[in-house]
Structure 1
Amino acid sequence: MSTTSSSPARGTDPASRRAAGVGRRIAAVPVHLTLALGLLVGCASSVASADPAEQSSAPSAVVTATPSATTTPGATSSPTPAATPGTASTPAPPAPSETPVQAVNPPSAAFLALEDLPVAASGTMSDYDRDGLFGGWIDADGDCEDTRNEVLARDLTGITSADGCTVATGTLADPYTGRTVDFVRGVATSGDVQVDHVVSLGNAWVTGARGLSQADRVALANDPLNLLAVDGPTNGSKSDKDASQWLPPDEAFACEMVAVQIAVKTRYDLWVTAPEKNAMAEVLSTCPGQELPTGTPFGEIPGGSVAQPAPAEPAPGTVAPAPTEVYYANCTEARAAGAAPLYVGDPGYREAMDRDRDGVACES
């Protein structure tokens, strides 16, 4: 029987042989390289373990903010703590507003009166007849000066008069242009200065004067509140226009002119058109303190809108005298008595003396 010699045990499968080879190679690596390799493997392991799921579930770091300094009364801001990297920064609240409250001016008297005027479309000028509807200048106070001369005496300076009833010369500081105009009475020169109806009679007619009585229209045409001595050519350019169509070349006078128009339309129950009201309001916005002008006519205008004093009551036990009948044979006699023109209802008025049947006799 043959005997086989034994050798040291050795793995016979390929996997065992590979494992044994790797072990011999690792054992042969120098010590310093082994330490470096260990460090690299440890870092890789820690990175791999921090997957997104783990990161999202991990509690966030707690940041303790340092309290801000106490704000001294009157200070406008507080120091803001520095934001910790990686955290959202909360903005500091804004400081309270310190803007002062603006004072609001109350509406002016002129503006309030404008708000009270009715607004309507203008009427027609097709039946407008200035002289027939509004009459001419009258001497309302019986002092021998008609309304035109009363206005010239009021508005001009350095006036002279040859007869005490008419203005012969004077100097006008024209409100519409700001220019100085010399006035000399005469056929060729009187027109240099004209007396303007601030609310033109044509505009008055289409904004309610049609419904006035004849006496009220004459009062409107002779009311000093509605009259100004002005530069003649400039007055011609104004004509019958309202504030939406014409304003004075001297803008400084626009507020006063508009205020006069509002006062006249208020006094005689006239209206304004929508464009006219808008234009007036725009002008008044530049002069918030504009007052509403008032004016007293030179005298009592017969039958007009000016309030007439109530007749005195007779004393108890007395009988009031019967009114004296007044009769004028013609207009010449009425003028000689200083009674012309005569209005319907006036003592001495007769239809036979009223040639155009307009309610005014002996007007010219």
Structure 2
Amino acid sequence: MAPSNRGRRRRSSSSLSSPTATSSRTPARWPTKWWAATSRSSTTSRWRVSSTRSSGPSGWPIWTSRDGGTVALKWWLALFAFAMAAVFAASDGLTGVDPHIGSTDARAVLADLAVIPALAERPKSTDYERSSFGEAWTDGTDARGAGNGCDTRNDILDRDLRDKVFTAIDSCPRAVAAGELQSPYSGRWIVFRRGKGSGAKVQIDHIVPLAYAWSMGARRWDAVVRQRFANDPANLVAVDGEANQDKSDKQPSRWMPANAAFHCQYASQFVRVVRAYGLYLDRASYPVLRKALATC
């Protein structure tokens, strides 16, 4: 979701485009009832909805201004309501809880948190391997949005970046060639250009880390569910590489985003994903998540 460009110098189109790339200034695939551009008037600091756009996969943009202003958290939660992807109940112990949020009330998320089973601490795992969750970013899963001809990484880049231009690559006929990201973890603006080093600057993070999920119950899942989890857009977000490396596979009791304005969204998404997939939580993460939800 792109904030108004009023008050800042716009990048020239040539700085992000190429002769063969197609340009997109707004996410082209968000559902009509949820997608809205925002603008900020010169006389008030409140954000308002200014337009709508049709079609697309789930996603949640970052509504902040370049001068550091942040959008009201109620809008974050409204966006989160459609960002959660469907998770299908499995016979191996998953709860079958519908991950779609029917209410933007943080109390509903707190209610989910209250019924998630606790472990005294996170078990130490020596048998975790990334390959246990299948091929990284494969399009061949039953996760929401899969099977569209683009790998998961490019799907999330398309969802989360703004001012995008596109190009065709082997794993995606409409891959993001360039764009801008305001990392929700740090608040930093990053210019993304596909090429050597681009993967280090902008990375796709699993909000509930794969290694943490493995320790907290994913080891009992079958391969299909693990691969779904690893590619579920409800559990994925584009962030700056530095913040992602700092987080690593840490749980909320050991790491929360430096950008406090994102704590409500981060906690909401963490709780809903854990609840939907029937995972455990380490006991020390409960108060951290409750504190974050209190900021909603």
* Cα distance change, pair 165–144 in 1 and its aligned pair in 2 (3 A): farther
Is 1:169–2:178 an aligned residue pair? yes
Structure number with greater Rg is 1
- Equivalence for 2:110: 111
Distance 1:134 1:117, change over 3 A: farther
Which of 196, 199, 205 in structure 2 is aligned with 1:187?
Answer: 196
Deviation at 1:224, TM superposition (A): 0.1
> What is the alpha-carbon distance in structure 2 between the residues aligned to residue 152 and residue 166 of structure 1?
8
Per the alignment, residue 251 of structure 2 pairs with: 242
TM-score (norm 1): 0.48
- What residue in structure 2 maps to residue 157 of structure 1? 162
Instruction: Note the C-alpha offset of 1:129.
Output: 0.4
Q: Which runs of 5+ in 2 are unaligned?
A: 1-104, 141-145
- Rounded to whole Å, the distance in 1 between the matches of 2:174 and 2:118 is 41
Report the RMSD for the aligned CA atoms in angstroms: 1.5
Give the alignment of 1:158-307 within 5 angstroms.
Answer: 158-163=163-168, 164-287=173-296
- How far did 1:199 drift? 0.4
Residue of structure 1 in register with 2:152 after alignment: 147
Give 1:124's aligned residue. 124
Return the structure number with greater strand share: 2
Deviations 1:46-75 (A, max 9, x none): xxxxxxxxxxxxxxxxxxxxxxxxxxxxxx
Q: Which one-letter code corresponds to 1:160 in the other structure?
A: V
Runs of 4+ in 1 over 6 A off after TM superposition: none
Change (3 A) 1:230 1:198: same
8 A contact 1:147–1:222 mirrored in 2: yes
Note the residue ranges of structure 1 that are not aligned, 5 or more in a row.
Answer: 1-105, 288-364
Q: Give me the whole-angstrom Cα distance separating, in 2, the residues matched to 1:264 and 1:272.
A: 11
What is the total number of aligned residue pairs between the two structures?
Answer: 182
| Displacement after TM superposition at 1:135 (Å) | 3.2
Measure, in 1, the Cα distance between the counterparts of 2:202 and 2:277: 26
Deviation string, structure 1 residues 202-233 (Cα, Å, up to 9, x no partner):
11111111111111011000000000000111
Shift of 1:133: 3.7
Checking the alignment, whether the CA contact within 8 Å between 2:202 and 2:239 is kept in structure 1 is yes
**Contact 1:174/1:181, CA 8 A, preserved across alignment:** yes
* Identical-pair percentage: 37
Q: How does 1:32-51 map to 2 (within 5 A)?
A: none
Superposed CA deviations along residues 273-319 of structure 1, whole A, max 9, x for unmatched, are 110112111222233xxxxxxxxxxxxxxxxxxxxxxxxxxxxxxxx
Give 3-state SS (helix, strand or coil) of 1:177's partner: coil
